[in-house]
Amino acid sequence: MAGEMDEYLNGGREPDERFHEIAAALSAVGAKAALLQTANQARIGQPYEMSRFAPRLSEEEIEFLRTFYGELDEMTPNGLVHLMPWLEGDEGPDWGSAERDAFAAGVADGLLTLSDEGVGGGQYLLPERVRDFANGLPVEDWRERGLLDSRAKGVRSLNWLADAEDFARLLQHSDPGLHGGTEFSANVTLSTGHHLGHNDLAITQDREDAIGSLLEVTTRNESANHAVLTGGIEHPAARVEDSRYASEHMPDFGENRDALAGLYSHDWRDDGEAVAGLTDWITEFAKGTPGQAQMAGDATVGLMETLAGEADDRPFHDTQHQSDTNYQLAVTEVNPEIAESLTGIYLTYLADLTLHAESSGYDTIESGPSSLLLHEPSDKALFIDDATKERFVQLLIADVDSADFVTSSIEALEIDIINAALDSPHPEALRNAGNTTGGMRTIIHDAMIHEFEDRTGTARKRRTKRPLGGRRGSTSGSP
């Protein structure tokens, strides 16, 4: 089938009924994969012994896709990563927009399908140049290939982001209900974060929009998001020996935290809407099947611990961005859509945050019924130590809208706790209620005080100080 497509691509044959049959065949495989992914959704989080029986594409279908994409990558001048600039450019085939869109949609859907382990594929089946891109390696011979747009010698992160723009123009044609594989999606997300955070690069709006659309695709896979947040998948550079990563112009591809900092700290023109996809799924999964709830809880533990940082190392609280009054902005101020997503997670687990914990995790409650007010013995719950809670809440306090939700939620929580204590048959319930509400009040109070100290401590010479909960870069009564 790829051999037939070569005739259309090189201009030897005009798009006809057979052309549309080929495009439709690719889309049909993608549509079948989307149905399988939906059917397998309930199996997310299940042990391997159960998940291995999930329905998959046949070996023949996977082999068809592997062969087709291997040949297609070779027959197009610059491969699949750079398919769209060629397809839409003067050197590409003389097709109408309808033919280009139909072909791109079929190619994008089939490529995501082939990458998905859940339906029988995997990143290892993709063409080598696509694997290299996912693993954060920019195209080396860009000059020889004529890929001169916004690329420069030695600026390898800029060049990879240019590759990302090209590839995004293909994947944005994919079915919104279809996701790529876990390894592939996680690797592209991590590579994007590491390259964005490597240097202070000037990125055009078109390129940023394209990278945002790429992240919209990669964050469709909740298992990949979970792996990024928990460290279940590290960047390939940390796992394989490859001299191409050794260049001084490449990121060091360290911990997942570094990639997350690159994603969250970038000043997105969409306020971080695409990046928020990395966490938006958590609130839904927290109320889903036991396996999904476990995934959401584990991801939230990893997320909160990562964002909290340490006392002297808090890249999410103090980004490279500054207000007009020289305050370092928190990621929640730089990107309000991220703040909204994090606030949703906070509200989802608010009752769990009342539980005392020496360490963090998502586990079964072992306390007796007399000490519980909002939970039952043997419930699964989120356990977060107080220092992590406070630093996470401080991120929310930094954003004006999130700060309102935090303060109002505590008042509602206190009412729930007091009502639960009054209904409890245990005599110590009221004392426990006082301790619980006092503990949560202390965490919120400490977060507000530390945020205030952070704001005033970096600009003590200023005569005016902005109120808490205001955006640091604003004026006229708001910071």
Instruction: Give the pLDDT band of residue 93 (cuts 50, 70, 90).
Output: confident
Q: Exposed (0-12), middle (13-18) or buried (19+): which is 413, by Cβ within 10 Å?
A: buried
pLDDT, greater one: 400 or 180? 180
Query: Which residue type sits at 79?
Result: G
List the structure tokens of 38: 């939906």
Residue 47 pLDDT: 64
pLDDT, greater one: 154 or 369? 369
pLDDT > 70 fraction of the chain, expressed in percent and rounded: 89
pLDDT at 148 over 70: no
Backbone phi, psi, residue 380, to 5°: -85, 135
Residue 231 pLDDT: 96
Backbone phi, psi, residue 418, to 5°: -65, -45
CA neighbor of 292 nearest in space, from 226, 233, 375: 226
Scanning 76-171, the segments in alpha helix (DSSP H) are 83-88, 97-115, 128-134, 156-171
Residue 135: CB partners within 8 Å, gap ≥ 6?
Answer: 187, 191, 235, 236, 237
pLDDT at 51 over 90: no
Task: Answer for the pair 325, 459: CB distance below 8 angstroms, yes or no.
Answer: yes
CA–CA separation, 374 and 475 (whole Å): 42
Per-residue pLDDT tens for 331-378?
Answer: 999 999 999 999 999 999 999 999 988 889 999 998 766 678 888 888
Residue 479 pLDDT: 31
Residue 467 pLDDT: 44
Residue 471 pLDDT: 41
Residue 104 pLDDT: 94
**Terminus-to-terminus CA distance in the chain, angstroms?**
61
Residue 229 pLDDT: 98
Query: Which residue's entry shows tokens 């889903």?
Result: 288
Q: Exposed (0-12), middle (13-18) or buried (19+): which is 202, by Cβ within 10 Å?
A: exposed
Residue 369 pLDDT: 67
Q: Per mean pLDDT, which range of 162-166, 238-242, 263-267, 393-397 is the poorest?
A: 238-242
pLDDT at 68 over 90: yes
Average pLDDT over residues 84-111: 90
Instruction: Give the pLDDT band of residue 220 (cuts 50, 70, 90).
Output: very high
Residue 144 pLDDT: 56
Query: Which residue's entry shows tokens 């991590």?
Result: 190
Residue 477 pLDDT: 32
The rounded mean pLDDT for the chain is 87
Residue 460 pLDDT: 44
Per-residue pLDDT tens for 289-318?
Answer: 999 999 999 999 999 999 998 877 889 998
C-alpha distances out from residue 104 to 17, 78, 88, Å: 17, 15, 11
Residue 21 pLDDT: 87
Q: Per mean pLDDT, which range of 30-44, 47-61, 313-327 is the poorest?
A: 47-61
pLDDT at 48 over 70: no
Q: Rounded to two decimals, what is the model's pTM?
A: 0.90
List the structure tokens of 449: 């005080």
Angle at which helix 386-397 crosses helix 290-308, to 10 degrees, equals 80
Average pLDDT over residues 96-101: 90
Residue 416 pLDDT: 92
CA–CA separation, 72 and 74 (whole Å): 5
CA–CA separation, 44 and 37 (whole Å): 10
